[in-house]
Amino acid sequence: MTLKEYALKLNEAAKKHPNALVIYSKDDEGNDYQQVHFAPTLGHFNDHEWRSANDIRDEEADTGTKLGLKINAVCVN
């Protein structure tokens, strides 16, 4: 799913239920549910590895080397 598709679904839900809590399921089987407390974070996701935009920027500043990682994902919690 793309961010645009996700945002459309969220906006539709927000119009109908503006005071609904935002929660997440801990796993596919629904063994635990928790409330979302953090803002979405942009970053780079590839082959099950995540690097936030802040981490990328910090590493590039520390090393003086451009990593060439493009923002391609958003972490929602």
Q: Where are the domains of the chain?
A: 1-37, 38-77
Residue 40 is predicted with a pLDDT of 94
Residue 17 is predicted with a pLDDT of 98
DSSP code at position 59: H
Residue 68 is predicted with a pLDDT of 94
Structure-block tokens of residue 49: 């590895």
In sequence order, the 6+-apart residues with CB closer than 8 A to the CB of 13 are 20
- Which segments of the chain have a pLDDT < 70? none
Residue 60 is predicted with a pLDDT of 96
Residue 32 is predicted with a pLDDT of 94
Residue 77 is predicted with a pLDDT of 77
